[in-house]
Structure 1
Amino acid sequence: MPRNAVIGVDIGTSSSKGVLVGLDGTLIRSAVREHTPARPGPGRFEMDAAVWWREFTELSRELTAAGDAIVVAVGVSGMGPCVLLTDEHDTPLRPAILYGVDTRSVRQIERIEARLGAEEILRRGGSALTTQAAGPKITWIAEEEPGLYARARRLYMPSSWLVARLTGAYVLDHHSASQCTPLYDTHTHGWYAPWAAEVAPGIDLPPLRWSGEAAGTVTAEAARETGLPVGIPVTTGTIDAWAEALSVGAQHTGDLMLMYGTTMFLVHTVPKALTSPSLWSTIGALPGTRNLAAGMATSGAVTNWLRDLFADGDHAELTRLAAESGPGAGGLLMLPYFAGERTPVMDPDARGVIAGLTLSHTRGDLYRAALEATGFGVRHNIEVIEAAGGDIRRVVAVGGGTQGSLWTQIVSDITGRPQELRTVTIGACYGGSLLAAQLVGDARIDDWNPVRTTVTPRAGHTGRYDELYALYRRLYPATSDLVHTLAALQDR
């Protein structure tokens, strides 16, 4: 007898993931479609929205092919903030510009700050204007592709694009909107019309809802393409990291989520609005919640790069070699700024640095240095979060990088923070399925996804990592002038 279930789908940077989940939280089936963003120039990352919908339909059909479940609701999430502009008929006008890994809008940021005022943007929008923000990316299209922009009427992100294709609704969640700096007012929880007209002229910004609210129901056309039942509800959805936090119950005041993925993302839940020019202050996924957020531009992206460089390597083998390398990676120190860096340095022209190389260093040393670089970056962000008034009481880890024990152990050793691991760590698509289940029932994450284990720091490594962290903090200022010159050469 088929059981009732929900589907959760997340559109990520390197793959789309989907899960079929019973209403009790049981993971029935999962599926993945890998993809690679286009890189049309230095500092530019784009993706065709047709990929998002095609992969959703493929995942939906694969997840339901066995006929052992009746899907009663759908949850969606996706990377962001991204900028997909369409005309009034929802025809995409160009590939979507991705989130902070795309750094093309530096000049637009400078001009917008000059017109609106950097302090006023921080006060009203909660975050300083950086290449993470959606607003300057819209302005970039208006200035660099004016003929195309003249036809632009609507703004989408991956999650809201799936909602539109599934239900016909044009909506966006409050959290995603709060990353559209400077278009959203975090005090009034709505679009700020004067700045919207300045930064995104002619765009009919979407109505706003909370992530767990129903955006609409599956249309007959979408049902034919996806195999889903007509009329089932679809969540409004949100950005992937916030769905990840929901998937492991990290939405209470004092919680900090660490998302181990292609990038490393940190979401700290705070009781009131806190701002820092080195972080992002956002509206939460749930009503009444606020966050201080941080994000490293790379983490798993660097380990994937190393795996690809070592043609005969794979992550399992490289992890084994990294464990043998030991704390300190044989005297190597890495800056993980291979795609610029987001928080807390906010430097799109930062570049990766590997210091201390000798002819005796091995693949395991390099891989270990990459894992440790992530840990140092997390520690740096945690210190800035707490300096801004954050009060971190619990750390919860999630994402593909938690599957092996070494990476999470290294991060706990470097930060001195225990990390809670839940039973299911698949991430955003599971969080999306939780919100979908809450549309049709009383799903609770502690029942769905109980704590499996806690990674505790090893005291014997504290001194070594404290010494290396001090060197890590010196390495960026010591090399920034040089790498900025190199970054300029790369742009030619």
Structure 2
Amino acid sequence: MVSYALGLDFGSDSVRALLVDTQSGQEVATHVVYYPRWAKGLYCEPARDQFRQHPLDYIESTEQVLAALWQKAPAGAGQQVIGLSFDTTGSTPVAVDKDGVALALKPEFAENPNAMFVLWKDHTAVKEAAEFTDAANKAQENYLKFEGGIYSSEWYWSKALHVMRSDASVAEEVYMWVEHCDWLPALLTGKSHPEQLPMGRCAAGHKMMWHESWGGFPPNEFFKAVDPILDGLVERLPKDTYASDNAVGELTPDWADKLGLPVGIPVGFGAFDCHMGAVAANVKPGVLTKIMGTSTCDITVGTYQDVGDNCIPGICGQVDGSVVPGMIGLEAGQSAFGDLYAWFRKLVNGPAKQLIAQAPYIDEATKQKLAEDIDEQTLIVLSEEAIKFAPGQVGITAVDWVNGRRTPDADQTVAGAITGLKMGSGAAETFRGLVEATAFGARAIIERFREHNIAVDSVVAIGGISKKSDLVMQICADVWKCPIDVLESDQSCALGAAIFAAKIGGAYPDVASAQEVMASKVCKTYQPNSENSAIYDQLYQDYLALGAFVNGSK
């Protein structure tokens, strides 16, 4: 009898649903729905680094994406789903009340951005992140030693503290903060109440300072010393956390009816998108899985013997079971990758799009179509021109920190920089310099792993950029000096979620068995060019020097 696993991937802009045949591993149907409020730019202030998402965007999009999926899937497929799992961006927490209701779902908070999910890319909490880092460094037990030693403004506690300091109404009403990847499974299984809420290992270990060695989370006194406004919050969190090969509970009748799924199927513990993407990529020691999108997230794993008590500084955590059971999951990443290219596109397209918008002789529909065409074609044209240059030929060095630096050594106060511009520097030359900068930023992460005896022998790339740009991928292979495999699946993160769904649904005894059948195949491999790599070794030193200057002058 045919059975299906369902993976839902909640990205920055949209939710993607993927239906997979558990026996053949075939990706049967997929659909994408964009968040309507987010698409309008609501509740966000980019100039202030504020990025918020309304919980209704997630709820409504979940219903819409599955309704559309069943139109594409074989008849009756919804009733043959045996398990459902989620992945989300992170850290993306939301304030909930004493009944577990997200504050933005209450009428009095419905239009308050502080009552909404604080998206991973929200950097309003730089000051608070520094306070947590300072407190951990002064504590008898350094609660950040398994999270790279530096707390980030992209993470749970700094965001919670910043919002509570900024908004007394939220601070008064909040009972608990819940990560997006924990909130969704709890919602669908009827376990949103704080007394019932279970938590996944991934978010807790990588962003919330959870670790078994100190019995869960740091004590209340640690948080209270940072700011008394945090008093009691940590005591409301469960001490136990669970890997994603476990089920949170069963799908409730109400949600089963809304989503067209069987009542009572298991719903898995959620995790961050990059971690589940790595599962779809058959992650293993020595292989770095790189999710290449607006930002990047780098995931690898190590055995208990290989990692041991080795605390790697400047990364986004090392957590037992956060990726696959029985191994230490290690995370790093860049705060901007595709976002840097998008910034440059906006920069070069701005005047032309403004002229089009102001043209009195063009109707509105045509204006919109012209603007969309410009955006769609710009990076393609720039790539076609930039690929004609040899390494070092453009003479431009850039630093990729336009959205701060995630790793190595989190610092959201730093900024991007470009040097070497001359009268002959055109858009294509500058674009190539930016592409090289993102490759250098990724190399700094790889070298940090290697410096601390975590092998990176090859890279598996996931995400839109890996399938769209030969220029970017070949430069990366040359800079990293290792082969890069690109996965065939266009929905690798959702596929990872589906693999966990197949396991919790009983199709496989463990995740490894499910991966053997369901993990994505490789569609293309980029090999490094040794001559180019030798040149990039020298240019990388220029990148490091410019980065040191930016660090010193901030």
TM-score > 0.5, shorter chain as reference: yes
DSSP-derived class of the 1:122 partner: coil
CA distance in 2, matches of 1:9, 1:367: 34
Q: Name the amino acid aligned to 1:236.
A: F
Q: Could you give the per-residue CA deviations for residues 79-136 of structure 1, whole angstroms, max 9, x where no partner exists?
A: 111221111233222011223x322223323433444435712336664322233122
- Determine if the alignment matches structure 1 residue 80 to structure 2 residue 90: yes
Check the 8 A contact 2:502/2:514 in 1, yes or no: no
Aligned partner (choices 389, 394, 399) of residue 335 of structure 1: 399
Task: Indicate the residue corresponding to 1:59 in structure 2.
Answer: 65
Aligned partner (choices 175, 179, 187) of residue 213 of structure 2: 187
DSSP-derived class of the 1:171 partner: coil
Q: Identity over aligned residues, as a percent?
A: 23
- Determine if the alignment matches structure 1 residue 362 to structure 2 residue 426: yes
Task: Indicate the residue corresponding to 2:12 in structure 1.
Answer: 13
Task: Indicate the residue corresponding to 2:107 in structure 1.
Answer: none
- Determine if the alignment matches structure 1 residue 117 to structure 2 residue 117: no
Relative to structure 1, is the Cα distance of residues 195 and 5 closer, same or farther in structure 2, using a 3 angstrom cutoff?
Answer: farther
DSSP-derived class of the 1:339 partner: coil
| 1:141 Cα deviation from its structure 2 partner | 2.6
CA distance in 1, matches of 2:124, 2:297: 21
Q: Name the amino acid aligned to 1:4.
A: S
Task: Indicate the residue corresponding to 2:254 in structure 1.
Answer: 221
| 1:398 Cα deviation from its structure 2 partner | 1.2
| 1:361 Cα deviation from its structure 2 partner | 2.7
Check the 8 A contact 2:289/2:460 in 1, yes or no: yes
CA distance in 2, matches of 1:44, 1:256: 31
DSSP-derived class of the 1:393 partner: strand
Relative to structure 1, is the Cα distance of residues 49 and 280 closer, same or farther in structure 2, using a 3 angstrom cutoff?
Answer: same
| 1:52 Cα deviation from its structure 2 partner | 1.5
Relative to structure 1, is the Cα distance of residues 228 and 43 closer, same or farther in structure 2, using a 3 angstrom cutoff?
Answer: same
Aligned partner (choices 296, 311, 318) of residue 275 of structure 1: 311
- Determine if the alignment matches structure 1 residue 105 to structure 2 residue 122: no
CA distance in 1, matches of 2:411, 2:124: 12
Q: Could you give the per-residue CA deviations for residues 129-176 of structure 1, whole angstroms, max 9, x where no partner exists?
A: 222331222222332223322221232222222212211122221111
Q: Which moved more, 1:367-376 or 1:314-323?
A: 314-323
Check the 8 A contact 2:148/2:315 in 1, yes or no: no
- Determine if the alignment matches structure 1 residue 475 to structure 2 residue 546: yes
Aligned partner (choices 259, 271, 289) of residue 291 of structure 2: 259
Q: Which moved more, 1:80-89 or 1:284-293?
A: 284-293
DSSP-derived class of the 1:39 partner: coil
CA distance in 1, matches of 2:156, 2:290: 23
Q: Which moved more, 1:235-244 or 1:385-394?
A: 385-394
Task: Indicate the residue corresponding to 1:488 in structure 2.
Answer: none
Greater C-alpha radius of gyration: 2
| 1:432 Cα deviation from its structure 2 partner | 0.4
Q: Which moved more, 1:129-138 or 1:373-382?
A: 129-138
Q: Name the amino acid aligned to 1:96.
A: F
CA distance in 2, matches of 1:115, 1:479: 26
Q: Which moved more, 1:413-422 or 1:40-49?
A: 40-49
Q: Name the amino acid aligned to 1:260.
A: M
CA distance in 2, matches of 1:196, 1:63: 47
| 1:260 Cα deviation from its structure 2 partner | 0.7
Question: Mapping of 1:224-239 within 5 angstroms?
Answer: 224-239=257-272
Relative to structure 1, is the Cα distance of residues 373 and 14 closer, same or farther in structure 2, using a 3 angstrom cutoff?
Answer: farther
- Determine if the alignment matches structure 1 residue 39 to structure 2 residue 44: yes
- Determine if the alignment matches structure 1 residue 435 to structure 2 residue 513: no
Q: Name the amino acid aligned to 2:14.
A: S
TM-score by length of 2: 0.80
Relative to structure 1, is the Cα distance of residues 66 and 418 closer, same or farther in structure 2, using a 3 angstrom cutoff?
Answer: closer
Task: Indicate the residue corresponding to 2:361 in structure 1.
Answer: none
- If each structure's helix is expressed as a fraction of its own residues, which one has the higher value? 2
- Determine if the alignment matches structure 1 residue 132 to structure 2 residue 148: no
**Runs of at least 5 residues in structure 1 that lack an aligned partner in the other structure:** 485-492
DSSP-derived class of the 1:103 partner: coil
Check the 8 A contact 2:460/2:485 in 1, yes or no: yes
Task: Indicate the residue corresponding to 1:450 in structure 2.
Answer: 521
| 1:385 Cα deviation from its structure 2 partner | 1.4
DSSP-derived class of the 1:187 partner: helix
Check the 8 A contact 2:249/2:266 in 1, yes or no: yes
Task: Indicate the residue corresponding to 2:435 in structure 1.
Answer: 371
Check the 8 A contact 1:124/1:186 in 2, yes or no: no
Q: Could you give the per-residue CA deviations for residues 16-64 of structure 1, whole angstroms, max 9, x where no partner exists?
A: 2221211122112222233446433523222112212221211111111
| 1:425 Cα deviation from its structure 2 partner | 4.5
Task: Indicate the residue corresponding to 2:231 in structure 1.
Answer: 201
Check the 8 A contact 2:318/2:330 in 1, yes or no: yes
Check the 8 A contact 1:60/1:228 in 2, yes or no: no
Q: Could you give the per-residue CA deviations for residues 399-449 of structure 1, whole angstroms, max 9, x where no partner exists?
A: 111103332211110010112233325221111011111123125324322
Root-mean-square deviation over aligned CA pairs: 2.4
DSSP-derived class of the 1:475 partner: helix
Q: Name the amino acid aligned to 2:143.
A: I
Task: Indicate the residue corresponding to 1:92 in structure 2.
Answer: 102
DSSP-derived class of the 2:324 partner: coil
